[in-house]
């Protein structure tokens, strides 16, 4: 298609949108509402995933060494621990540091070592992080059989339930996005179809006077893109300001609750919403117009 034809189709699309401004506004509002619902569900699911990932990343295995183990032997244990599949890092915490941490909890005036008769009863400890939270139970079972290790603790029972919960949340989240996405597509396509249906006589007359299918189709196609983009843009701006305010309130009122603030991820969501809104609007016009071109 020539540039002049595209320019004409674009001007004709804007003229048609203005002539049918009430239907246009209704269509834009429908797209905006649909995209807001989809965007909100998308961000909610990503925050659920972020919360689950944050909880999983904080999981660690505490390995308590035998008290009779010398410091040199205790330090040599690090190589054995790091050779276990799934172990990311192993931090050695000497018993002196553990006692200092306990004294800090009880207050600066406390002298636990003197209260204990000058003997530190705490064992040396390794704190272990895994590459993946799913590896934690397996790593713990392999650590338990190593010589020199007295006790392995990782919140057995709770960790398995947490992993099951996070897997369930991820599955439900994907299902929610899929379901809301389909509903948004159906609602937008139906609205665009009603817009085209309201102008079916116009299409029929143009067809009868000899207009080609593409001559008729392009203005409607561009109208659908404009409506879809406009509605999606309104939705993105609404989500942006509402979510920004929500993040600020949560950070002040419940700062311990992790919330996703990665701007790159959020901008990708906004970009995809714009693309989806524009694409659905164009596709809805093309599909709806097809039946009226058969005269």
Share of the chain above pLDDT 90, in %: 5
Q: Mean of the pLDDT values across residues 41-58?
A: 78
Answer yes or no: is pLDDT of 35 > 60.
yes
Q: What confidence score (pLDDT) does residue 164 get?
A: 77
First-residue to last-residue Cα distance in the chain: 24
Residues 6+ apart with CB under 8 A from 95: 120, 122, 123, 124, 125
What is d(CA 140, CA 257) in angstroms, rounded to the nearest whole number? 28
For 164, other C-beta atoms within 10 Å of its C-beta total 10
Q: What confidence score (pLDDT) does residue 216 get?
A: 65
- Burial class of residue 118 (count of CB atoms within 10 Å of its CB; 0-12, 13-18, 19+): exposed
Nearest alpha-carbon partner for 130 in 75, 57, 78, 80: 57
User: Tokens in use for 39?
Assistant: 């965007």
Contact indicator for 45, 249 with CB cutoff of 8 Å: no
Contacts 24+ apart (CB under 8 A), 81-84: 81/126, 81/128, 81/143, 81/146, 84/139, 84/142, 84/143
Q: Mean of the pLDDT values across residues 29-56?
A: 82
Which has more confidence, 181 or 168?
168
Domain 60-153 bears CATH identifier 3.30.450.40 = no
Which has more confidence, 198 or 250?
250
Q: What confidence score (pLDDT) does residue 3 get?
A: 46
What confidence tens digit (pLDDT) does each residue in 172-204 have? 777 877 777 677 677 766 766 666 666 667 666
Task: Match 């590896």 to its residue by tokens.
Answer: 135
Q: Mean of the pLDDT values across residues 144-167?
A: 77
Residues 6+ apart with CB under 8 A from 139: 61, 84, 85, 86, 87, 128, 130
Q: Mean of the pLDDT values across residues 157-185?
A: 74
What is the location of CATH 3.30.70.3040 in the chain?
A: 60-153
Answer yes or no: is pLDDT of 277 > 70.
yes
Q: What confidence score (pLDDT) does residue 288 get?
A: 66
Answer yes or no: is pLDDT of 230 > 80.
yes
Q: Mean of the pLDDT values across residues 100-116?
A: 59
Q: What is the DSSP letter of 85?
A: T
Confidence of residue 238 (pLDDT cuts 50, 70, 90): very high
Confidence of residue 119 (pLDDT cuts 50, 70, 90): low
């Amino acid at each position: 298609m020539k540039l002049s034809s595209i320019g004409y189709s674009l001007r004709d699309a804007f003229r048609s949108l203005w002539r049918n401004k009430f239907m246009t506004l209704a269509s834009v509002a429908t797209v905006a509402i649909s995209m807001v619902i989809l965007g909100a569900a998308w961000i909610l699911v990503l925050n659920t995933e972020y919360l689950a990932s944050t909880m999983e990343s904080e999981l660690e295995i505490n390995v308590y060494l035998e008290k009779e183990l010398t410091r040199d032997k205790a330090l040599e244990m690090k190589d054995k621990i790091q050779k276990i599949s799934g172990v990311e890092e192993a931090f050695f915490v000497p018993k002196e540091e553990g006692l200092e941490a306990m004294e800090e909890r009880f207050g600066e005036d406390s002298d636990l070592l003197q209260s204990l008769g000058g003997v530190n009863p705490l064992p040396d400890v390794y704190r272990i992080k895994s590459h993946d939270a799913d590896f934690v139970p397996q790593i713990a079972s392999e650590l338990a059989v190593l010589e020199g290790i007295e006790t392995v603790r990782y919140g057995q029972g709770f960790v398995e339930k947490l992993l099951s919960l996070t897997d369930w949340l991820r599955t439900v989240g994907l299902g929610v996005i899929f379901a809301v996405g389909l509903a948004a597509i159906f609602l937008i396509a139906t609205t665009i179809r009603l817009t085209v249906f309201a102008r079916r006589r116009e299409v029929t007359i143009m067809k009868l006077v000899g207009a080609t299918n593409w001559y008729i189709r392009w203005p409607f196609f561009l109208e659908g893109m404009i409506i879809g983009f406009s509605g999606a843009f309104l939705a993105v701006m609404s989500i942006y300001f509402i979510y920004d305010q929500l993040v600020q309130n949560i950070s002040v009122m419940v700062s311990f609750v992790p919330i996703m603030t990665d701007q790159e991820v959020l901008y990708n969501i906004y970009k995809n919403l714009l693309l989806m809104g524009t694409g659905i609007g164009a596709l809805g016009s093309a599909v709806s117009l097809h039946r009226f071109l058969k005269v």
